[in-house]
Structure 1
């Protein structure tokens, strides 16, 4: 049985995606999550999830950070981004960070169903207008390189990185994650090595580059 995870903090849109999923894949099983923490918890305990339909903006995930986390920690699970953003550069960045497809929230139920079927069949999917726009927009080497480096982090290391990005000290991170401070220090050392950075400031800059604000757009 095909299992899908719908990750979106808007109940009405989750319902629309569930209907499209049920219509596109006969007998599929659908679970839902409203924040990134729930998504990660579900994936940690349910190894049969085949596809995640991921909103780019929900609690715990802003911009490409949630996508980067899923691709890094669960590379065997396909991710189909569902977003109100329709700018070609944002779509390009999502693909560079491992999305198998991109569904604008303005897409029709038929397009959503087609996208789900295409990705489940190990293909990719973009709406025709965005596919045409991206044909002339090459992959950004910086995003491809960053995605590769982030993929080296463990789930716990990514959590530590996110808290580093919030400006927390090692002791504060240890308290937040309920682990020993020496464990945090070991994670921080490993994070710096895997990301190729020297300090917290450089790590924070890399993390903020996943934002989709105008200032972070390339």
Structure 2
């Protein structure tokens, strides 16, 4: 059975490496590509279907884990494997906790991405063999953000990037008053009092970018 696989990564060499690896191991697989987060939605809405998404957490427009949560909220039936230069256990565990079905470090041998794809397509989870994560016993900001709607997550992503309400409204093609209403709801759901506090919490989900590393 052939599969349609979307590679979402802003580095052309990384997309090429992944496409070649998948093409050699999975005969007949159709490879789709996106270099920005905002290119993913039009591909998923063509009606032709996508069986699995390989997602870079640091591609433009992602806002780290916020983008992952938005994608899983809008397209819960399509499994996502995070392919990231970040390899710390906390990032891996949070990716799984908030919707990913697998996680493959970009430094991993190319055989691992094929193993991960096959496992996830079979309905399993796939994780690298790394030490377990240990986090402080404090409320996870992603737990609070998980209650937000897709539109509210977009607003939160804008807040994390330091954008004004009018900038967010322009990008979302809605009225500024609508964005302000979303901000009020976001503050209530995140249990914070000010936009600045929401920005601080959101920044904990917008992971710092790491340098690209091609798979061996």
Alignment TM-score, normalising by the size of structure 1: 0.80
Deviation at 1:77, TM superposition (A): 1.9
Point out where structure 1 has 5 or more consecutive residues left out of the alignment. Answer: none
Partner of 1:209: 204
Select between 80-89 and 29-38 the one with higher mean Cα deviation.
80-89
- Please identify which structure carries the higher helix content: 1
The root-mean-square deviation of aligned C-alpha atoms, in Å, is 2.7
Point out where structure 2 has 5 or more consecutive residues left out of the alignment. Answer: 210-216
Deviation at 1:12, TM superposition (A): 1.7
Partner of 2:37: 36
| 1:164–1:88 Cα change, 3 Å | closer
Partner of 1:99: 100
Whether contact under 8 Å (1:5, 1:30) holds in the other structure is yes
* Residue 123 (structure 2) pairs with residue 122 (structure 1): yes
**Greater relative contact order (Cα 8 A, min sep 6): structure 1 or 2?**
2
Deviation at 1:42, TM superposition (A): 2.3
Equivalences for residues 25-104 of structure 1 within 5 A: 25-46=26-47, 48-104=49-105
Equivalences for residues 93-172 of structure 1 within 5 A: 93-128=94-129, 130=130, 133-134=131-132, 137=133, 146-172=141-167
**Within 2, Cα distance between the matches of 1:48 and 1:85?**
29
Partner of 1:183: 178
Whether contact under 8 Å (2:79, 2:101) holds in the other structure is yes
Select between 64-73 and 25-34 the one with higher mean Cα deviation.
64-73
Give the length in aligned residue pairs.
208
Select between 93-102 and 192-201 the one with higher mean Cα deviation.
192-201
Whether contact under 8 Å (1:72, 1:151) holds in the other structure is no
**Within 2, Cα distance between the matches of 1:213 and 1:142?**
21
| 1:176–1:75 Cα change, 3 Å | same
